[in-house]
Each structure stands twice: as structure tokens, then as C-alpha cells.
Amino acid sequence: MSFDKVAIIGLGLLGGSIGLATARYLPGVVTTGYDADPAVRARAAELGLAGTICASAADAVTDADLVILCVPVGAMGDAAIEIAGALRPGCVISDVGSSKQSVLAALNKALPGTTIIPAHPVAGTEHSGPDAGFASLFHSRWCIITPPEGTDSALVDALSAFWSALGAKVDVMSPRHHDLVLAVTSHLPHLIAYTIVGTASDLEEVTRSEVIKYSAGGFRDFTRIAASDPTMWRDVFLNNKEAVLQMLQRFTEDLTALQRAIRVGDGDTLFDHFTRTRAIRRSIIDEGQDDARPDFGRGDHED
């Protein structure tokens, strides 16, 4: 089976990109879209982010066989309540939220008796809003599908096929495991970036203009992540609290070990650690998850 009518709720970076990608790679699929912000709806219509931009969430989902909620994770419950009662029988509800256990709980509560198959495309940028969307966002990126136990496998396959058609590679895991994996690969790095950029901007002996001037030393790579949407990331930390705190505890212990190595002059520990981390960078490049060129291909090092 496949989905013929897809409703997208929330027309920012993720929702807009799904609409554009569906139009490009699944031209036979009819899309409808809705966003709570009237200005976003108007812009989405201009940009053609969905075939029809509707004036209400209920209108957008009426005929849909797949609804994808693309709102901040803290808004998933409210977005689901708005469509309850307007769904056609058999409609599958999915989402793109960055945490999965809390989203599944919120959707189950708002839409009892509905088929809910959460998903998380691990693809994004630091930009948000309708103008940030683009059709190739999901190319060669992983989309993690987290079906609750007992979900009809044919529906999971149909959702996998949808994401594959948009260019994504699909993995299936439990919501709990997803939250642990993403806590270390995404949520903790964002927390570290938000912290270090805040620390640098609060320093007294090094001026802010010096921090900006010499940022190519590494700082600017953190600033890209720390420029990510505040609403989205506030919600991610509040909704994946336990896994983030667990990983943060581990991180703090490891940081203390490196701090000690620096203090006591233990160069071997530092060297061994940095050798291990360099190998991880190589694996990421080998798997095509980043640009192998120096400095992420920015070109500063080219002759």
C-alpha cells in the first residue's frame, strides 16, 4: 500500500521541505498544508509548499490517508487535538519531532484509537520558517521510524517507502532507543554549542569582537549549531529530559577526566583520546554523512 493524500501540519523548515520533496519525487501524491500562523500560510501558498493551503487543521486532514505533524515537539499534543474528529477512518498519523517517547505519549492521549507511527528525519539546518524549506533536505539522510509495539507492519513499510521516495535512508527502532541515540548525537552537541557560545559572549578579558574576529579557530562551527531555533530546542530538552541528563552525566565525567589529564600533564591520555575521536570523524565521512574536504568544504584552504 502507499499514501495518496498527505496532510502536513506546520509549514516551517521540515513541513515545507516535505511538501516540496513530495511534489518533486511523488508528483502523484496530493498534499494539503496548514500552519497556525496566518503569515506562514500566506508565504507557504506563495512558495507552493503544499498543493492546497487550508484555513484550518481540520480542513487540511479531512481526506488525508497520512498526516505528518511538523510542529515543535511541545506543540504536538495541541496540534493533534485540533485534528481529532476530522480524520478519516484508517488515516495514519506521523510526525517529524526530534524526541519520540514524549511525542508518542502526547499523540496517544490526543488521538486514542488512531494509528500513530512517529518518525524523525535526522536532517535539518539552523534555519527555520517556510522560506527555509528545500526539496533535497532528506537526500541520503536517515529517517528513524519508531512504531509502537503491535503496529501493522504494512503501514510501517508504507511510511518507510514514503520517506525513501523523498531520498531518505530508513531505520526502525523503539522510541526509547531513539531518544538515547539522539541525546548523544544531536541533543548534547546542541547543549554544548549553546553553552560555549554563551560563555564566549560573556567573557570579560577577551572582547566579543576578538571572539568574532578569531572564530575560524573552531568557535564558528559551534555558532552554526547554537543559531538553531530557540523554540524547537527548548522543547527538545524539556521533552527528552531523562536521556539528555543521562548523557550529560557521562559527558561531564569524561570532561573531568580530560581536565585532569591537562592538569597533571598526561599527554598520553590526551593523545589516545584525540586519536580515537579522529577515527569517528573518518567513519562519518566514509558513510557519506559529511563533507570530507578541509573545513567542511568552505574553501578557505583552497589555493
**53 Cβ neighbours under 8 A, 6+ residues apart:** 11, 32, 33, 34, 41, 44, 45
49 binds ligand NAP (CB under 6 A): no
Given 7, 8, 13, 26, the residue binding ligand NAP (CB under 6 A): 13
DSSP tag of 187: I
Minimal distance in Å, beta carbon 246 to ligand NAP?
20
72 binds ligand NAP (CB under 6 A): yes
Provide the residue type at 196 as one letter: I
Distance CA 79, CA 61 (A): 12
240 binds ligand NAP (CB under 6 A): no
Minimal distance in Å, beta carbon 34 to ligand NAP?
6
Q: Where are the alpha helices (DSSP H) in 141-264?
A: 153-165, 175-182, 188-202, 208-213, 219-226, 230-239, 241-264
**60 Cβ neighbours under 8 A, 6+ residues apart:** 7, 8, 9, 32, 33, 34, 52, 54, 83
Q: x/- binding map, residues 189-228, to ligand NAP, per CB under 6 A?
A: ----------------------------------------
Minimal distance in Å, beta carbon 44 to ligand NAP?
9
Strand partners, 272: none
Which one of the spans 119-127, 249-257, 265-273, 295-303 is the region binding ligand NAP (CB under 6 A)? 119-127
Minimal distance in Å, beta carbon 136 to ligand NAP?
14
Which one of the spans 18-26, 122-130, 142-150, 295-303 is the region binding ligand NAP (CB under 6 A)? 122-130
Q: Phi, psi at residue 99, to the nearest 5°? A: -125, 150
Strand partners, 66: 6, 92
Q: Please, which residue, 115 or 125, has the CB nearer to ligand NAP?
A: 125
Given 98, 114, 146, 240, the residue binding ligand NAP (CB under 6 A): 98
135 binds ligand NAP (CB under 6 A): no
Given 30, 47, 48, 129, the residue binding ligand NAP (CB under 6 A): 129
Q: Please, which residue, 97 or 211, has the CB nearer to ligand NAP?
A: 97
167 binds ligand NAP (CB under 6 A): no
Distance CA 146, CA 165 (A): 18
137 binds ligand NAP (CB under 6 A): no
Minimal distance in Å, beta carbon 150 to ligand NAP?
25
Cα–chain center distance at 174: 17
Kindly tell me the sign of the dihedral angle through the C-alpha atoms of 94, 99, 105, 106.
Answer: negative
Distance CA 154, CA 102 (A): 24
Using an 8 Å Cβ cutoff, are 9 and 60 in contact? yes
Which one of the spans 93-101, 191-199, 246-254, 265-273 is the region binding ligand NAP (CB under 6 A)? 93-101
Which residues form the interface with ligand NAP (CB under 6 A)? 9-15, 35-37, 40, 57, 70-73, 75, 78-79, 96-98, 120-121, 124-125, 128-129, 229, 232, 236
